Amino acid sequence: MIEMELNKIIIDEKRPDQIIVLKEKNGSRLMPIIIGYLEANAIKLKVSGVTPPRPLTHDLLFSVIEGLGASVAKILIDALENNTFYAKLVLRLSGEASEKIIDARPSDAVAMAVRAHAPIFVEEEVIKRSEVFHQQP
């Protein structure tokens, strides 16, 4: 697994599909993921430090996880099948050594990662299959 971080959020309000770009944390590889407008907006709001007057869906889920005594340990993007990325939330329960793995869309997983300040890991094969270009150092 390769650690990556959110590098860009590209929002075009005239299109239903938006793009987030993950960048290899200690490298130059970039991985774009097409996501929905609402998910892109939820990520952008949190990254921009905007707090809506009422909790949005990802804020609610994050509060529920914390309220149950758990935390988002990390997210994994571990598969790419038929042009669809697959991700998992890895939750750590308070006082337990084991982790709970929850299936998630990458957009929702990244939205949770930015709220939890959790690391994002991507399977090497997924990066290779989705890589379009390198960012210059």
pLDDT in tens, 113-130: 999 999 999 999 999 888
Mean pLDDT of the residues in the chain: 89
| pTM tops 0.85, yes or no | yes
Asked if residue 124 lies in contact with residue 79, where contact means CB atoms within 8 angstroms, the answer is no
Beta bridge partners of 93: 70
The pLDDT tens digits for 70-82 are 999 999 999 998 8
Per-residue pLDDT at 132 exceeds 70: no
Question: Is pLDDT above 90 for 5?
Answer: yes
- Say if residue 137's pLDDT is above 60: no
**What architecture (CATH level 2) is domain 2-130?**
Roll (3.10)
Predicted local distance difference test score (pLDDT) of residue 38: 87
User: Where are the domains positioned within the chain?
Assistant: 2-130
Determine which helix (DSSP H) or strand (DSSP E) holds 67, and give its type and residue range.
helix 57-67
Q: What is the DSSP string of 8-64?
A: EEE--TTSSEEEEEEEETTS-BEEEEEEEHHHHHHHHHHHTT---SS--HHHHHHHH
Rounded to whole angstroms, the Cα distance separating 36 from 49 reads: 20
pLDDT at 113: 96
Average pLDDT over residues 48-56: 88
Distance of alpha carbon 23 from alpha carbon 16, whole angstroms: 23
pLDDT of residue 57 exceeding 80, the answer is yes
